[in-house]
Amino acid sequence: HVEGDLDLDQTLFTEDQIRARLAELARDIERDYEGRDLLLVGVLKGAVMVMADLARSLDRHVEMDWMAVSSYGSGTSSSGVVRILKDLDTDISGRDVLIVEDIIDTGLTLSWLVANLKSRGPASVEIATLLRKPDALRMEVDVTYVGFDIPNAFVVGYGLDYAERYRNMRSIGTLAPHVYS
Ligand code: PRP
Ligand code: MN
Ligand code: MG
């Protein structure tokens, strides 16, 4: 526990549940990309834990690169603005790219990111996300690998923050309303 039990409403996924689900996704990814080079693109900062654990679950070689984009401010809702804070180091033309995310909330970040990466001439761009919220289903974002569909609550832990806190929790939980209200 990082901040104490009072800040958390309930645990949604334990460390073990997350690890088990990522292992299932890793088997799917190994099968789908068999015989092809694969570049994982993690979206900073939320995806660091998913990236680290998913990459280590894969029984194959991958490359890893990172982008940082901004969509949220420090609060709990999307601002509608996406901009690149850190771009890829890798030229992705002709590459098979798998974007790794912690959560798709409104889908704004990923729909923008997929369009941006596709404009660079990659062989393919797919998405793996640990969590997906209901609003994301309304967006025109094709998500190939989804860990868990979750209800529309504010979740923290395992990379997910509220005002930059809680990212280093090993489990994922809902934030108690008194923390952000
Ligand atoms: C969060 C989360 C996703 C994005 C999802 O990142 O990690 O990247 O928002 O929201 P959307 O589907 O509504 O666009 P955030 O912008 O908070 O940055 P962070 O990863 O550094 O926390
Ligand atoms: Mn993020
Ligand atoms: Mg955030």
Q: Please check whether residue 74 lies inside any domain of the structure.
A: yes
Count the neighbouring beta carbons within 10 Å of the beta carbon of residue 133.
17
Cβ of 42 below 6 Å from ligand 1: no
Q: Is residue 86 part of a domain?
A: yes
pLDDT in tens, 158-178: 999 999 999 999 999 999 888
Q: Cα(179)–Cα(132) distance, rounded to whole angstroms?
A: 22
Q: How many domains does the chain have?
A: 1
What pLDDT does 75 receive? 53
Instruction: Kindly state whether residue 59 falls inside one of the protein's structural domains.
Output: yes
Of residues 79 and 62, more confidently modeled: 62
Note whether residue 176 is domain-resident: no
What's the whole-number mean pLDDT along residues 146-160?
Answer: 96
pLDDT of residue 141: 85
Q: pLDDT for 21-41, tens place per residue? A: 999 999 999 999 999 999 999
What atom of ligand 1 comes closest to residue 133's alpha carbon? Answer: 12
Give the integer Cα–Cα distance in Å for 145 and 126.
8
Spatial contact of 174 and 154, defined as CB atoms under 8 Å apart: yes
Tokens (6 digits) for 87? 């771009």
Residues 6+ apart with CB under 8 A from 173: 8, 9, 10, 11, 12, 155, 156, 157
Report the separation in Å between the CA atom of 65 and the middle of ligand 2, taken as the mean of its atom positions: 15
pLDDT of residue 72: 56
Q: Which of 89, 74, 148, 141 is nearest to 120 (CA)?
A: 89
Q: What is the CATH number of the domain that holds 115?
A: 3.40.50.2020
Q: How far is the CA of 35 from the centre of ligand 1 (A)?
A: 32
What's the ipTM? 0.98
Model confidence at 68, pLDDT cuts 50, 70, 90, reads: very high
> Which residues make beta-bridge pairs with 69?
84
Residue 8 located in a structural domain: no
Return the amino acid letter for 70.
S
| Ordered alpha helix ranges (H), 81-163 | 108-118
In one-letter notation, the amino acid at residue 25 is L
Residues identified as active-site: 105
Global confidence as pTM? 0.93
Q: What is the distance in angstroms between the CA of the first residue and the CA of the last residue of the chain? A: 22
Specify the ligand 1 atom closest to the Cα of 107.
12
Let me know if 90 is exposed, middle or buried by CB neighbors in 10 A (0-12, 13-18, 19+): middle
Query: Is 136 part of a structural domain of the chain?
Result: yes
Is residue 48 one of the residues assigned to a domain?
yes
Q: Specify the 3-state DSSP secondary structure of 147.
A: strand
Look at residue 168 and tell me if it is in a domain: no
Chain centre distance of CA 93: 23
Domain span holding position 141: 16-152
- For residues 113 and 43, the answer to whether their CB atoms sit within 8 Å is yes
CB-CB contact of 42 with 51 (8 Å): yes
